[in-house]
Amino acid sequence: MDRNPQKSFQDMILALHDFWSANGCLILQPYDMRMGAGTFHTATTLRALGPEPWNAAFVQPCRRPTDGRYGENPNRLQHYYQYQVILKPSPANIQDLYLESLRVIGIDPLKHDIRFVEDDWESPTLGAWGLGWEVWCDGMEVTQFTYFQQMGGFDCKPVAGELTYGLERLAMYIQGVDNVYDLDFNGQGVTYGDVFLENEKQMSKWNFEVAETDALFDLFNKAEAECKNALDHNVPIAAYEQAVEASHIFNLLQARGVISVQERASYMGRVRDLARGSCEAHMEKEAPVWAEKYPEWSK
Protein backbone atom coordinates (compact mmCIF):
# COMPACT_ATOMS: atom_id res chain seq x y z
CA MET A 1 0.00 0.00 0.00
CA ASP A 2 1.35 3.40 -0.93
CA ARG A 3 1.97 5.83 1.86
CA ASN A 4 1.46 9.52 1.34
CA PRO A 5 3.27 11.18 4.24
CA GLN A 6 3.06 14.60 2.56
CA LYS A 7 -0.73 14.61 2.68
CA SER A 8 -1.60 12.49 5.68
CA PHE A 9 -0.58 12.71 9.34
CA GLN A 10 -1.11 9.01 9.88
CA ASP A 11 0.85 8.09 6.75
CA MET A 12 3.75 10.15 8.02
CA ILE A 13 3.74 8.08 11.21
CA LEU A 14 3.41 4.85 9.25
CA ALA A 15 6.29 5.89 6.96
CA LEU A 16 8.46 6.44 10.02
CA HIS A 17 7.41 3.06 11.39
CA ASP A 18 8.30 1.41 8.06
CA PHE A 19 11.65 3.14 7.97
CA TRP A 20 12.75 2.38 11.51
CA SER A 21 11.35 -1.12 11.36
CA ALA A 22 13.44 -1.74 8.26
CA ASN A 23 16.42 -0.40 10.19
CA GLY A 24 16.18 -2.88 12.99
CA CYS A 25 13.91 -1.19 15.50
CA LEU A 26 11.17 -2.81 17.48
CA ILE A 27 7.99 -0.89 16.79
CA LEU A 28 6.45 -0.43 20.20
CA GLN A 29 3.14 1.11 21.22
CA PRO A 30 2.64 4.15 23.47
CA TYR A 31 3.00 3.74 27.20
CA ASP A 32 -0.48 3.60 28.68
CA MET A 33 0.04 6.38 31.17
CA ARG A 34 -0.09 10.16 31.10
CA MET A 35 3.42 11.54 30.72
CA GLY A 36 5.15 14.79 29.75
CA ALA A 37 7.53 13.37 27.15
CA GLY A 38 8.42 10.21 25.27
CA THR A 39 11.57 10.02 27.33
CA PHE A 40 9.44 8.83 30.28
CA HIS A 41 8.47 5.64 28.39
CA THR A 42 10.25 2.74 30.06
CA ALA A 43 11.51 1.79 26.60
CA THR A 44 13.66 4.90 26.88
CA THR A 45 14.48 5.50 30.54
CA LEU A 46 14.90 2.03 31.89
CA ARG A 47 16.26 0.59 28.65
CA ALA A 48 18.90 3.30 28.47
CA LEU A 49 20.47 1.67 31.51
CA GLY A 50 22.63 -1.41 31.28
CA PRO A 51 24.71 -3.00 28.51
CA GLU A 52 22.06 -4.73 26.43
CA PRO A 53 21.57 -3.50 22.86
CA TRP A 54 18.15 -1.90 22.40
CA ASN A 55 16.60 -0.43 19.28
CA ALA A 56 13.02 0.73 19.43
CA ALA A 57 10.66 3.24 17.88
CA PHE A 58 7.24 4.33 19.08
CA VAL A 59 4.73 7.15 19.19
CA GLN A 60 4.14 8.60 22.63
CA PRO A 61 1.25 10.96 23.42
CA CYS A 62 2.55 13.75 25.65
CA ARG A 63 0.63 15.78 28.18
CA ARG A 64 1.78 19.29 29.07
CA PRO A 65 -1.14 20.83 30.98
CA THR A 66 0.36 24.34 31.12
CA ASP A 67 0.71 24.42 27.31
CA GLY A 68 -3.04 24.17 26.83
CA ARG A 69 -4.57 27.10 24.91
CA TYR A 70 -8.21 26.03 24.72
CA GLY A 71 -7.71 25.14 21.06
CA GLU A 72 -7.09 28.78 20.21
CA ASN A 73 -3.36 28.75 19.51
CA PRO A 74 -2.27 27.39 16.11
CA ASN A 75 0.86 25.73 17.57
CA ARG A 76 0.38 24.96 21.21
CA LEU A 77 -1.39 21.91 22.57
CA GLN A 78 -1.69 20.32 25.98
CA HIS A 79 -1.79 16.91 24.29
CA TYR A 80 0.41 16.09 21.32
CA TYR A 81 2.51 13.31 19.87
CA GLN A 82 6.20 12.61 19.89
CA TYR A 83 7.86 10.01 17.73
CA GLN A 84 10.68 8.50 19.64
CA VAL A 85 13.59 6.37 18.40
CA ILE A 86 16.10 4.91 20.80
CA LEU A 87 19.25 3.26 19.47
CA LYS A 88 21.65 1.64 21.92
CA PRO A 89 24.56 1.69 21.43
CA SER A 90 24.36 4.78 19.25
CA PRO A 91 25.35 3.63 15.74
CA ALA A 92 28.12 5.43 13.87
CA ASN A 93 25.70 6.33 11.06
CA ILE A 94 22.93 7.63 13.32
CA GLN A 95 22.90 11.09 11.72
CA ASP A 96 22.69 9.57 8.24
CA LEU A 97 19.85 7.30 9.33
CA TYR A 98 18.01 10.24 10.76
CA LEU A 99 18.42 12.33 7.60
CA GLU A 100 17.24 9.38 5.55
CA SER A 101 14.10 9.21 7.69
CA LEU A 102 13.42 12.85 6.83
CA ARG A 103 13.68 12.07 3.12
CA VAL A 104 11.24 9.23 3.64
CA ILE A 105 8.59 11.62 4.94
CA GLY A 106 9.25 14.09 2.15
CA ILE A 107 11.85 16.52 3.38
CA ASP A 108 14.55 17.01 0.73
CA PRO A 109 17.67 18.54 2.28
CA LEU A 110 18.60 20.21 -0.99
CA LYS A 111 15.37 22.17 -0.91
CA HIS A 112 15.15 22.64 2.84
CA ASP A 113 17.84 23.92 5.14
CA ILE A 114 18.56 21.18 7.69
CA ARG A 115 20.81 22.14 10.58
CA PHE A 116 22.11 20.55 13.75
CA VAL A 117 22.06 23.31 16.36
CA GLU A 118 23.58 22.76 19.79
CA ASP A 119 20.98 21.84 22.37
CA ASP A 120 21.95 19.80 25.36
CA TRP A 121 19.31 17.95 27.24
CA GLU A 122 18.92 17.62 30.97
CA SER A 123 16.17 16.19 33.10
CA PRO A 124 16.89 16.77 36.77
CA THR A 125 13.74 14.77 37.49
CA LEU A 126 15.22 11.69 35.89
CA GLY A 127 18.78 12.41 37.00
CA ALA A 128 19.59 12.35 33.32
CA TRP A 129 21.53 14.41 30.80
CA GLY A 130 22.92 14.17 27.34
CA LEU A 131 24.55 16.19 24.59
CA GLY A 132 23.14 16.75 21.15
CA TRP A 133 21.23 19.14 18.99
CA GLU A 134 17.87 20.41 18.08
CA VAL A 135 17.50 19.71 14.39
CA TRP A 136 16.25 22.67 12.41
CA CYS A 137 14.36 22.46 9.16
CA ASP A 138 14.24 25.97 7.65
CA GLY A 139 14.63 27.42 11.10
CA MET A 140 12.02 25.20 12.74
CA GLU A 141 12.96 22.75 15.45
CA VAL A 142 11.67 19.39 14.22
CA THR A 143 13.67 16.93 16.28
CA GLN A 144 15.57 16.68 19.51
CA PHE A 145 18.68 14.56 19.00
CA THR A 146 20.46 13.42 22.15
CA TYR A 147 23.31 11.15 23.12
CA PHE A 148 22.32 10.04 26.64
CA GLN A 149 25.28 10.28 28.97
CA GLN A 150 23.56 9.59 32.28
CA MET A 151 20.21 8.20 33.32
CA GLY A 152 18.92 7.93 36.88
CA GLY A 153 22.28 9.25 38.03
CA PHE A 154 24.16 6.35 36.36
CA ASP A 155 26.58 6.60 33.44
CA CYS A 156 25.03 5.17 30.28
CA LYS A 157 27.25 2.27 29.30
CA PRO A 158 26.97 2.17 26.38
CA VAL A 159 25.51 5.48 25.27
CA ALA A 160 22.12 5.45 23.57
CA GLY A 161 21.12 7.87 20.83
CA GLU A 162 17.61 9.27 21.22
CA LEU A 163 15.64 10.94 18.44
CA THR A 164 12.44 12.75 19.33
CA TYR A 165 10.41 14.05 16.40
CA GLY A 166 7.69 16.60 17.05
CA LEU A 167 5.05 14.99 14.88
CA GLU A 168 2.51 17.80 14.60
CA ARG A 169 5.17 20.36 13.76
CA LEU A 170 6.73 18.14 11.16
CA ALA A 171 3.37 17.38 9.61
CA MET A 172 2.39 21.06 9.57
CA TYR A 173 5.62 21.74 7.79
CA ILE A 174 5.29 18.95 5.29
CA GLN A 175 1.64 19.63 4.58
CA GLY A 176 2.23 23.39 4.39
CA VAL A 177 -0.40 24.12 7.02
CA ASP A 178 -0.26 27.09 9.42
CA ASN A 179 -2.70 25.79 11.99
CA VAL A 180 -2.30 22.42 13.67
CA TYR A 181 -6.06 21.86 13.60
CA ASP A 182 -6.00 22.11 9.79
CA LEU A 183 -3.68 19.12 9.42
CA ASP A 184 -5.05 16.38 7.22
CA PHE A 185 -5.14 13.37 9.49
CA ASN A 186 -5.80 10.56 7.03
CA GLY A 187 -5.29 12.09 3.59
CA GLN A 188 -9.01 11.91 3.02
CA GLY A 189 -10.13 15.13 4.61
CA VAL A 190 -10.46 14.24 8.28
CA THR A 191 -8.53 16.98 10.08
CA TYR A 192 -6.54 17.00 13.28
CA GLY A 193 -9.14 19.46 14.54
CA ASP A 194 -11.92 16.97 13.86
CA VAL A 195 -10.11 14.53 16.07
CA PHE A 196 -8.68 16.76 18.79
CA LEU A 197 -10.12 20.29 18.89
CA GLU A 198 -12.93 19.52 21.33
CA ASN A 199 -10.48 17.49 23.37
CA GLU A 200 -8.12 20.48 23.63
CA LYS A 201 -10.95 22.80 24.68
CA GLN A 202 -12.25 20.55 27.39
CA MET A 203 -8.89 19.42 28.68
CA SER A 204 -7.55 22.99 28.81
CA LYS A 205 -10.56 23.98 30.87
CA TRP A 206 -10.14 21.01 33.15
CA ASN A 207 -6.38 21.47 33.52
CA PHE A 208 -6.59 25.17 34.29
CA GLU A 209 -9.97 25.62 35.95
CA VAL A 210 -11.77 22.49 36.98
CA ALA A 211 -9.47 19.81 38.33
CA GLU A 212 -10.10 19.41 42.05
CA THR A 213 -6.85 20.46 43.62
CA ASP A 214 -7.34 18.73 46.98
CA ALA A 215 -7.84 15.49 45.12
CA LEU A 216 -4.70 16.16 43.08
CA PHE A 217 -2.62 16.79 46.18
CA ASP A 218 -4.03 13.59 47.56
CA LEU A 219 -3.15 11.70 44.38
CA PHE A 220 0.35 13.05 44.48
CA ASN A 221 0.86 11.84 48.01
CA LYS A 222 -0.63 8.46 47.22
CA ALA A 223 1.60 7.98 44.17
CA GLU A 224 4.59 8.91 46.27
CA ALA A 225 3.62 6.41 48.96
CA GLU A 226 2.88 3.69 46.42
CA CYS A 227 6.24 4.22 44.75
CA LYS A 228 7.92 3.63 48.07
CA ASN A 229 5.77 0.60 48.68
CA ALA A 230 6.77 -0.86 45.32
CA LEU A 231 10.42 -0.15 46.03
CA ASP A 232 10.10 -1.92 49.37
CA HIS A 233 8.89 -4.98 47.49
CA ASN A 234 11.64 -4.75 44.88
CA VAL A 235 9.40 -4.20 41.87
CA PRO A 236 11.19 -1.17 40.38
CA ILE A 237 9.16 -1.03 37.17
CA ALA A 238 5.99 -0.63 39.22
CA ALA A 239 7.75 1.99 41.34
CA TYR A 240 8.79 3.84 38.21
CA GLU A 241 5.17 3.99 37.02
CA GLN A 242 4.23 5.72 40.25
CA ALA A 243 7.04 8.23 39.72
CA VAL A 244 5.62 8.96 36.26
CA GLU A 245 2.19 9.36 37.81
CA ALA A 246 3.47 11.75 40.48
CA SER A 247 5.26 13.78 37.83
CA HIS A 248 2.07 14.26 35.83
CA ILE A 249 0.01 15.13 38.90
CA PHE A 250 2.61 17.73 39.76
CA ASN A 251 2.25 19.20 36.26
CA LEU A 252 -1.50 19.42 36.76
CA LEU A 253 -1.05 21.17 40.09
CA GLN A 254 1.23 23.65 38.33
CA ALA A 255 -1.44 24.31 35.72
CA ARG A 256 -3.94 24.94 38.50
CA GLY A 257 -1.53 27.54 39.86
CA VAL A 258 -1.64 26.19 43.39
CA ILE A 259 2.05 25.53 43.84
CA SER A 260 4.03 28.56 44.98
CA VAL A 261 7.52 29.33 43.75
CA GLN A 262 9.01 28.14 47.02
CA GLU A 263 7.02 24.90 47.06
CA ARG A 264 7.83 24.18 43.47
CA ALA A 265 11.43 23.19 44.12
CA SER A 266 10.37 20.93 46.93
CA TYR A 267 7.78 19.08 44.79
CA MET A 268 10.29 18.69 41.99
CA GLY A 269 12.74 17.25 44.48
CA ARG A 270 10.16 14.71 45.61
CA VAL A 271 9.45 13.59 42.04
CA ARG A 272 13.17 13.38 41.37
CA ASP A 273 13.69 11.17 44.40
CA LEU A 274 10.99 8.79 43.19
CA ALA A 275 12.32 8.59 39.63
CA ARG A 276 15.91 8.23 40.70
CA GLY A 277 15.03 5.72 43.38
CA SER A 278 13.21 3.60 40.80
CA CYS A 279 16.09 3.75 38.31
CA GLU A 280 18.50 2.87 41.06
CA ALA A 281 16.42 -0.10 42.17
CA HIS A 282 16.11 -1.25 38.56
CA MET A 283 19.88 -1.03 38.18
CA GLU A 284 20.48 -2.92 41.44
CA LYS A 285 18.08 -5.64 40.42
CA GLU A 286 19.45 -6.15 36.91
CA ALA A 287 23.15 -5.46 37.44
CA PRO A 288 24.17 -9.02 38.42
CA VAL A 289 22.51 -10.46 35.29
CA TRP A 290 24.04 -7.81 33.05
CA ALA A 291 27.48 -8.23 34.55
CA GLU A 292 27.37 -11.94 33.95
CA LYS A 293 26.27 -11.59 30.37
CA TYR A 294 28.57 -8.67 29.55
CA PRO A 295 31.83 -9.19 31.43
CA GLU A 296 33.29 -5.92 30.07
CA TRP A 297 30.41 -4.03 31.66
CA SER A 298 30.28 -2.76 35.22
CA LYS A 299 27.76 -0.67 37.10
Partner 1 sequence: MSDFLLELRSEEIPARMQAGARAELEKLFRREMDTAGVTTGEITVWSTPRRLALIARDLPEATEAVSEELKGPPVGAPDQAIDGFCRKAGVEKGDLETRDVKGRATYFAVKNVPGRATKDLLAEAIPAIIRDFSWPKSMRWGAASISTESLRWVRPLSGIVALLGDDVVECEVHGVTSGSVTLGHRFHHSGDITIGNAADYAVKLRAGHVIVDHEERQDLIRSGASKVASEAGLKLVEDEGLVIENAGLTEWPVPLLGRFEEDFLEVPPETIQLTARVNQKYFVCEDEAGELANAFICTANIEAEDGGARVVDGNRKVLAARLSDARFFWDVDRKKTLAEHAKGLERITFHEKLGTVADKVDRVAKLADWLVFDAKAPNGDHKLARQAAELSKADLVTEMVGEFPELQGLMGGYYAKAEGLPVEVSDAIRDHYKPVGASDEVPTAPTTVAVSLADKLDNLLSFFRIGILPTGSKDPFALRRAALGYLRLVQANGLKLELDQVVHAWASQRVAGLPEKLGEFLLDRLAVQLRDEGVRHDYIQASRSWQGRPDMRVDRVESRARALTAFLGTEDGANLLAGYKRAANILKKEDWHGAEGEIARTGEEDPLSQVDDPDMRAVIDAKMSERHAKELSYPPEPAEKALMDALATSEPAAARAIEAEDFSAAMAALAALRGPIDRFFDEVTVNAEEENKRAHRLDLLAAFRAAVHKVADFSRIEG
Residues that bind partner 1 (CB under 8 A): 51, 73-75, 89-92, 95, 99, 109-118, 120, 130-133, 137-140, 147, 149, 155-159, 161, 173, 178, 260-262, 294, 296-297
Q: Which is nearer to partner 1, 113 or 194 (CB)?
A: 113
CB of 10 to partner 1, least distance (A): 23
The nearest distance, CB 82 to partner 1, in angstroms, is: 18
Find how far residue 231's CA is from the centre of its chain: 24
Nearest approach in angstroms of CB 229 to partner 1 is 34
d(CA 190, CA 172): 15
144 or 242, CB closer to partner 1? 144
CB-facing half-sphere around the CA of 22: CA atoms within 13 A: 10
Please say which residue, 18 or 52, places its beta carbon nearer to partner 1.
52
Question: Apex CA 176: angle with CA 77 and CA 39, to 5°?
Answer: 40
Question: Are 57 and 26 spatial neighbours (Cβ–Cβ below 8 Å)?
Answer: yes
- Sign of torsion, CA 242 44 89 25? positive
Q: How far is the CB of 132 from partner 1 (least distance, A)?
A: 8
Least distance in angstroms from the C-beta of 116 to partner 1: 4
Q: Which is nearer to partner 1, 228 or 290 (CB)?
A: 290
| Planar angle of CA 249, 77, 101, nearest 5 degrees | 110
Query: For residues 161 and 84, what is the distance between their CA atoms, to the nearest angstrom?
Result: 11
Closer of 138 and 218 to partner 1 (Cβ): 138
